[in-house]
Structure 1
Amino acid sequence: MKYEVILFDVDDTLLDFSISEKRALHRAFLEFGLPTGVKDYEASYQEISKVLWRELEQGLTNLSELGVERFKRLFLKHELEIHAEVFSGVYLGYLSKEIHLIQGAMEVCENLADCRLAIITNGFTDVQTSRIGGSPLSNTFEHIIISQEAGFQKPAKGIFDYAFSKLQITDKAKVLIVGDSLTSDIQGGIDYGIDTCWFNPHQKENNLGIKPTYEICKLIDLMQVVENI
């Protein structure tokens, strides 16, 4: 087997972040007296959040700032008198309890038992630890590398250095990273010199000029990638 270590992204790779985010947002808005908050403000929130996450990948902001700033901008835009930092804390608390596996995640991890499996994710340590730890995958991974703890976020080289140090990896040729984000997971892997597998369930067009080693639209297809090699 060519790959001895598989590095998995978490959100929208192993766990369905879209469902988790929407449910956590709804519960937070409900707590602040806005039962239709998701319906009214989700589109704006997604636009704002997308910009800030891209800035995070580019090293233009940090995770703590992002967590509050996205709500600060949202509430300013819609003239809502809500304390952004307080709302962020409530939202993250609910998010940490939202656990929804991507179809095939359990089966893939079970079938890759001969490989060393690890997580490499951008996000808040408490939230990601809680979600992974509360999932059926809790005892699956040798290490869980989270950007807030590592001090670097994908695609930065630093988070890969941190992961390789934790896992004591010396041969990049034996490592594969699997993730849904071209700009984070795939670009990070390419820049670090490891093979990449783009999980693209919605078959999005790749017009970024970022070329993964492999592309799959179902998580279970990862088995073909690993076994065929």
Structure 2
Amino acid sequence: MAINTLIFDLDDTLLDFRGGESQDIKMLLGKHLGLKGKKQDQALAVYQKINKGLWSAYEQGAINQQDIFRRRFQETLAALQQTGQADPQEIEREYAFLRDHNYRILKGAKELLQSLAGHYTLFAGTNGQEETQIRRLRETGLFEYFDAVFTSQGLNVAKPDPDFFDQIFAAHPAMKREETLMIGDGLQSDIRGGQNARIQTVWVNLRDQVLPDDLKPTKIVFSLKELQEYLA
């Protein structure tokens, strides 16, 4: 049966979250801790490891989003042995503003959605804050291509929990699982999430990651151009 509905992840699938994050975190840690050059790069790597771990815990239902925002800079400063040198919550507040105004998109993202609009029903399905993600879609000009936007905050559940997808299907009763495709870069959130929801998946592997043995995406693409050709 043909695919007619696409659920797109946003960050690092269409929106260039990682590019903005790297620039903003390095700037903030430089500002608050006086780090420069390689020390900024090293501090960024520490932050990214901690942040990734917290988001993974969130996706597993072990913590909530506010725990991420409360803990990530606190734990980063501790790992850098900089506790007491800066206020982690002030860094979080400044980063939240920068993150919410990160309007970078990945090359080819708009062209991809333009080519798909009218041929598929397009949904955004993202683990993120509703107001932030909708604002970013509007400011990047991508919002108009989506029939609906679903966020973990709005649904009160995160990918890969099957309930994230169940709520999307419940909101659109005409949707059929065998006609739906989940597209994203996240191995756990998007690919495992799609498997949990019993729908087909496309893994957008833009950084040459290694695929775990227990994950079996329907298709792997290494660029948005390749994804566009696959869906044409």
Q: TM-score, normalised by structure 2?
A: 0.89
CA distance in 2, matches of 1:169, 1:29: 48
Counterpart for residue 186 of structure 1:
191
CA distance in 2, matches of 1:145, 1:91: 23
1:179 and 1:186 in contact (8 A); partners too: yes
2:26 and 2:43 in contact (8 A); partners too: no
* Equivalent residue runs for 1:1-229 within 5 Å: 2-29=2-29, 32=32, 34=34, 36=36, 38-77=40-79, 78-81=81-84, 82-113=86-117, 114-227=119-232
16-25 or 64-73, larger mean C-alpha shift: 16-25
**Aligned pairs, how many?**
227
Gaps of 5+ in 1: none
CA distance in 1, matches of 2:227, 2:26: 33
AA paired with 1:45? Y
Q: TM-score, normalised by structure 1?
A: 0.90
C-alpha displacement of 1:38: 3.6
AA paired with 1:93? F
Gaps of 5+ in 2: none
The verdict on how the C-alpha distance between 1:39 and 1:224 changes in structure 2, with shifts beyond 3 A counting, is closer
AA paired with 2:44? E
AA paired with 1:70? R
The verdict on how the C-alpha distance between 1:26 and 1:168 changes in structure 2, with shifts beyond 3 A counting, is farther
1:92 and 1:127 in contact (8 A); partners too: no
CA distance in 1, matches of 2:97, 2:172: 29
97-106 or 81-90, larger mean C-alpha shift: 81-90
1:27 and 1:94 in contact (8 A); partners too: no
